[in-house]
Amino acid sequence: MEEFENIYSEYYGTVFRYILTLCGDELLAQEVTQEAFFKALKKIDGFRGECKLSVWLCQIARNTLNTMVQKQKRRAELPLEEIPAAAALEEELMDGDTALALHRLLHKLEQPYKEVFWMRTFGELSFRQIGSIWGKTESWARVTYHRAKIKLKEEIQ
């Protein structure tokens, strides 16, 4: 462990500066560098010495940055504010007559929108559960639910 502390002390600055040049965001660079060293600690026994240790660490950091950026992009595509909880959606759409109208519109909605909306709103399933039922990803379930909501709102208006 002391050996890895020495590696951390010696190479942290190099890895941090490398990631900072790639992303231009100091906070993100710090987070990526920390995560990269954590990953490197778990995989240090797999380092075969075919390249410099600094190169190996920077490769781990670059891969970590790419993964984090992809996750941020997926989150940015569907901000949570735009996907209200099922209860909030029900409050927004439900008063006596609107409930019946919603069910009629929902009945006319094509698949998979109808079923995904139903599972999320009335079945109170998580996006992960819905994706699993359909053999798809959690992101697919989020997108499908969001599109179903848009279609219903357009029909209501």
The residues spanned by each domain of the chain are 2-77, 81-156
Is residue 46 over pLDDT 70? yes
Is residue 85 over pLDDT 60? no
pLDDT in tens, 22-41: 888 888 889 999 999 888 88
Q: Among 76-80, 103-107, 140-144, whose mean pLDDT is lowest?
A: 76-80
Q: At the topology level of CATH, where does 81-156 sit? A: Arc Repressor Mutant, subunit A (1.10.10)
Residue 129 identity (one-letter amino acid): Q
What is the rounded CA–CA span in Å between residue 39 and residue 43? 6
Is residue 89 over pLDDT 50? no
User: Highest-confidence range of 53-57, 72-76, 79-83, 95-99, by mean pLDDT?
Assistant: 53-57
Average pLDDT over every residue of 40-64? 85
pLDDT score recorded for residue 117: 85
- Comparison of pLDDT for 59 and 101, the residue scoring more: 59
Among the four given CATH numbers 1.10.1740.10, 1.20.1290.10, 1.20.1600.10, 3.30.1330.90, the one describing domain 2-77: 1.10.1740.10
Is residue 77 over pLDDT 70? no
Is residue 43 over pLDDT 60? yes
Average pLDDT over every residue of 65-86? 63
* R_g over Cα of the chain: 23
The pTM assigned to this predicted structure is: 0.48
SS (H, E, C) the chain: CHHHHHHHHHHHHHHHHHHHHHHCCHHHHHHHHHHHHHHHHHHHHHCCCCCCHHHHHHHHHHHHHHHHHHHHHHHHHCCHHHCCCHHHHHHHHCCHHHHHHHHHHHHHCCCCHHHHHHHHHCCCCCHHHHHHHHCCCHHHHHHHHHHHHHHHHHHHC
Is residue 84 over pLDDT 50? no
Three-point CA angle 119, 123, 124, nearest 5°: 95
What is the rounded CA–CA span in Å between residue 29 and residue 23? 7
Per-residue buried b or exposed e for 107-138, using 16+ beta carbons within 10 Å of the residue's own CB: eebeebbbbbbbbbbeeebebeebbeeeeeee
Is residue 76 over pLDDT 70? no
